[in-house]
Amino acid sequence: METNSFDAIVVGSGMSGGWAAKELTEKGLKTLVLERGRMVRHPDYPTATKDPWDLPYGNRITQETRLRKPVQTRTGYPTPANQHWFVDDLDNPYEETKPFDWLRGYHVGGRSLMWARQSYRFGPLDFEANGKEGVGVPWPISYDEIAPWYDKAEIFAGISGSVEGLYQLPDGKFLPPFDLNCVEVDFKKRLDEKMGRKLIIGRCANLTAPLTHNESPQRGTCQSRNLCIRGCPFGGYFSSVSATLPSAERTGNMTLKANQIVYELIYDNDKGKATGVRVLDAETGKQTDYFARIVFLCASALGSAYIMLNSTSSRFPNGFGNDSGELGCNIMDHNKPGNSNANVEGYLDVAYTGRRPNGFYIPRYQNVGKDKRDYLRGFGYQGRAARSNYNRFNDTPLMGAELKKAALEPGPWTIGMTAFGEILPYHENHAKLDRTKKDKHGLPVLVIDAIVRDNELKMQEDMRNDAAEMLEAAGYKNITVKSDSYNVGNSIHEMGTARMGNDPKKSVLNKYNQVHACKNVFVTDGSFMPSSGCQNPSLTYMAFTARAADHAVSELKKGNL
């Protein structure tokens, strides 16, 4: 029988929502998962097995798509192979006071289908920084407290990587690492010898070997196709569609509904609790209320902030749980001002086979140990070396039979890398609702106002200079360092809009991701982050979501929620 009442409601089915669904259903809770976008089921990914010649326009984006998706396409991320995962900006508008790239995937699986799969732990350095430096609010939890949850997330998801013993980048439970290629090994050696800096293989959620558990029989190992963003019919990488949602499904406790736009939390003033959520059907516009004992908001940092800002009541006139005034504020992303490239001489008699869905990583070394900088925190680099392809002939006079002959040999090696740096939490970097503007569902539009400031701009100089210095130290030629302007959001790591902290006057959530002022609402997407680190954050969302779900069920059992 159709019912609107459940034990738990999870809003969003992406990286965090999938984990919440899996953990809550496995602990026996009848759980409703609401996704605002369309249904996607493993292994039905429309472009996953298309050959390159099946993609129109040499995989370039058409003007028609640009008109519908002006924000998504201006970033260069969408292609005909993957554009169906990126939202229609006209149907899903927002306002940007300063340029802000909001890349979104509205469908079951969310951005866990499109992510770059890089998976790094935050370390003690990251969890202690805010407290030691008096920035934002201190993390209410230590590395040691979250470490077992990282273990759990890594083991279930399957993270490949190498054990390195670095303090600033703790090791995890890894599947075997991918190979570095010949030139990357060369670069690693030179960086170590000349500068004492580490280069490691990226840690990524691709199965380089079978999983070490039997919970995901639908997943096979990575086939090195490097077409992950299309969705992988082999289940070779972690997404909620390939991994967590199937686990939740198998419990029999999950009800998953697509095309359900949650726009408001229902608050019961007498009980002091949220009783459920208000939903619009994206296709019919029908409004429905769903009820549950606990609600997990996993709708992304800006998505969850939106729902909370839109949930006003006499108790919460400024947005749900917003006693601190920090809701929607402290937006962070990763500082990323352009990439650096060089040509590598030699190694002409070697190449690689297979397509590695991963690159190298140079872990943060700034403000670690004796390496002091004139700004706080630091950055890491992600990059790869490769042999150049036919594009190298573009601006040459080579033509005819000679061109065809030359194209049968791989081009010279090139190497490129991009810095990802920490952005500090600034109260001024915020999102709010513009109730005078409405989207096609009649819902108010989010206004985002976020920029990088002095600390980030100083860091950008080092990101460029250090890259040039390292490529030069390695003896590489024709070094180019781009200084692209960086729009906040472009790293697609937005976070911080409902930060956790011990002080309810300065934070929205407690150390278990519970809203301070309403304990039966949990927010476990990027919203909760008090600082951004410089590591790709998804693994941290997984770990915190699993921990929050464990806490929620234990509190329910104790009758505390």
The answer to whether residue 438 forms part of the interface with another protein (CB under 8 A) is no
Other Cβ atoms closer than 10 A to 469: 14
Residue choice 55, 443, 457, 473 for contact with another protein (CB under 8 A): 55
The answer to whether residue 384 forms part of the interface with another protein (CB under 8 A) is no
The answer to whether residue 406 forms part of the interface with another protein (CB under 8 A) is no
The answer to whether residue 185 forms part of the interface with another protein (CB under 8 A) is yes
Residue choice 217, 272, 285, 325 for contact with another protein (CB under 8 A): 217
Based on CB atoms, which residue is closest to another protein, 173 or 384?
384
CA distance 28 to 11: 18
Nearest to 508 by CA among 532, 527, 536: 527
The answer to whether residue 457 forms part of the interface with another protein (CB under 8 A) is no
Is residue 93 within 8 Å of 439, Cβ to Cβ? yes
The answer to whether residue 410 forms part of the interface with another protein (CB under 8 A) is yes
The residue whose two tokens read 């070394």 is 365
Task: Tell me how far CA of residue 428 lies from CA of 111, 216, 322, 490, in angstroms.
Answer: 26, 43, 16, 19
Point out which span in 131-139, 141-149, 177-185, 485-493 binds another protein (CB under 8 A).
Answer: 177-185
The answer to whether residue 234 forms part of the interface with another protein (CB under 8 A) is yes
The answer to whether residue 397 forms part of the interface with another protein (CB under 8 A) is yes
The answer to whether residue 306 forms part of the interface with another protein (CB under 8 A) is no
Give the DSSP letter string of 397-453. Answer: ---HHHHHHHTTS---EEEEEEEEE-----TTSEEEEEEEEE-TTSPEEEEEE----
The answer to whether residue 286 forms part of the interface with another protein (CB under 8 A) is no
The answer to whether residue 482 forms part of the interface with another protein (CB under 8 A) is no
Neighbouring-strand partners of residue 33: 10, 256
By CB under 8 A, the count of residues binding another protein is: 67
Written as one letter, the residue type at 93 is: P
Q: Closest approach of Cβ 162 to another protein, in Å?
A: 13
Residue choice 391, 436, 454, 485 for contact with another protein (CB under 8 A): 391
CA distance 218 to 557: 32
Residue choice 76, 134, 400, 442 for contact with another protein (CB under 8 A): 400
The answer to whether residue 558 forms part of the interface with another protein (CB under 8 A) is no
Query: How is residue 387 written in tokens?
Result: 């042999």
Residue choice 218, 275, 318, 480 for contact with another protein (CB under 8 A): 218
Range list of H helices, 139-206: 143-157, 182-195
Q: Closest approach of Cβ 321 to another protein, in Å?
A: 40
Based on CB atoms, which residue is closest to another protein, 217 or 325?
217
The answer to whether residue 395 forms part of the interface with another protein (CB under 8 A) is yes
Based on CB atoms, which residue is closest to another protein, 124 or 410?
410
The answer to whether residue 144 forms part of the interface with another protein (CB under 8 A) is no
Query: How is residue 339 written in tokens?
Result: 């990439």
Neighbouring-strand partners of residue 387: 413
Based on CB atoms, which residue is closest to another protein, 53 or 284?
53
Measured over the CA atoms of residue 490, residue 492, residue 497 and residue 501, the dihedral's sign is negative
Residue choice 63, 284, 314, 436 for contact with another protein (CB under 8 A): 63
Residue choice 5, 39, 50, 439 for contact with another protein (CB under 8 A): 50
Is residue 255 within 8 Å of 248, Cβ to Cβ? no
| Maximum C-alpha span of the chain | 82
Based on CB atoms, which residue is closest to another protein, 73 or 130?
73
Nearest to 297 by CA among 96, 505, 544: 544
CA distance 79 to 66: 11
Is residue 181 within 8 Å of 385, Cβ to Cβ? yes
The answer to whether residue 220 forms part of the interface with another protein (CB under 8 A) is yes
Based on CB atoms, which residue is closest to another protein, 249 or 550?
249
The answer to whether residue 408 forms part of the interface with another protein (CB under 8 A) is yes
Residue choice 2, 144, 270, 409 for contact with another protein (CB under 8 A): 409
CA distance 454 to 442: 39
Which run of H or of E encompasses 457?
helix 454-473
Residues near another protein (CB under 8 A): 42-44, 49-64, 178-182, 184-185, 210-211, 216-221, 223-226, 233-235, 349-356, 386, 389-391, 393-397, 399-401, 403-404, 407-410
